[in-house]
Amino acid sequence: MKTTRHTDGLAWLMALSLAYCLASFIHFFHNAEYLGQYPNMPAWISRAGVYAAWLAITGVGAIGLLVVRSRFAPAGLVLIAAYAALGFDGLAHYGLAPMSAHSLAMNLTIWLEVAAAAALLAATLRCLYREGLRLGT
């Protein structure tokens, strides 16, 4: 059975979403479990709050993936793009303290999440562009 470009694009989107979800979880897990070691973190941020934030962010992506499979694919792609864009928020750690103030593990989890988010965002924007072309014809 031959796959279509739409199916191939959806498979890539699913794979990249899963990769970003895993990278994001690794970063949030590390952040939650070593919260006191992250430099200059606001006192109001709690371990439970970090996990709750991850669940909320991941929910945006999950809803986006569900919507993409419906007839409202462009709206789902916008949600996935927003989900991916949220992955750049990890860079805010460097607004609190320079990269050198973070441990190797902290930096690796931050950059792993950012790289996965960038890949997902690029793929999603490409799908949005193709969807726009398809709708315009």
pLDDT digits (tens, 9 = 90+) for 65-117: 999 988 888 999 999 999 999 999 999 999 999 999 999 999 999 999 999 99
Owning domain of residue 96: 5-136
| Side-chain half-sphere CA neighbours of 96 within 13 A | 13
30's tokens: 């590390």
State residue 10's pLDDT score: 81
Q: 125, 16 in Cβ contact below 8 A?
A: no
Q: 8, 122 in Cβ contact below 8 A?
A: no
State residue 8's pLDDT score: 60
- Which residue is listed with tokens 């709206």? 75
Angle at CA of residue 56, ends 115 and 47, nearest 5°:
85
Cα–Cα distance measured from residue 18 to residue 33, given in angstroms and rounded to the nearest whole number: 22
The number of distinct structural domains making up the chain is 1
77's tokens: 């792609």
Cα–Cα distance measured from residue 137 to residue 132, given in angstroms and rounded to the nearest whole number: 9
